[in-house]
Amino acid sequence: MVGPTAEPAPSSNRASDRKAWRTEAATAPSTRSRKPPWWLRLVAWLVAVPLGLVLVGIPARKAGYLDSQKLLDIVIGRDTASRYLPLLVIVVLWALVTALLVQLIVEGGGWLLRRRRGRKDRSTAAV
């Protein structure tokens, strides 16, 4: 049979307990992944916006969905309902592809940075 365990007496100085807990939490390694650096997110957007347009625009032109006549209809067309539909589809697809590319670049870049940091930490710890 296991006997009762003694609980530590409550501390009278709660402020020092909170400070000690914060210090331990700050020095403990984080189990969550770290936030990617700002420059990686900036590069991701600078690469993904034009690349997303290319990845959407070229197949749309090859398939005949986006041609010069449809672009002209957007500018001078009279029918509002079907006038902007091709542009709306292209913009929505462009936004979706751009968001996916940004996510892939940021997550992949963050993974590579964490991997490099881990290798660097292991090589310096072995020395």
How far is it, in rounded angstroms, from Cα 34 to Cα 27? 14
Separation CA 54–CA 19 (nearest Å): 53
Instruction: Map tokens 């000690």 to a residue.
Output: 20
Query: Which one has a higher pLDDT value, 10 or 97?
Result: 97
Q: Percentage of residues in the chain with pLDDT exceeding 90?
A: 33
Write the pLDDT tens digit of every residue in 31-78: 445 788 899 999 999 999 999 999 999 999 999 888 888 888 888 877
Q: What is the pLDDT of residue 12?
A: 57
- Calculate the alpha carbon distances from 56 to 44, 103, 108 in Å: 17, 17, 22
- The pLDDT, as a whole number, for residue 100 is 97
Per-residue pLDDT band for 121 (boundaries 50, 70, 90) equals confident
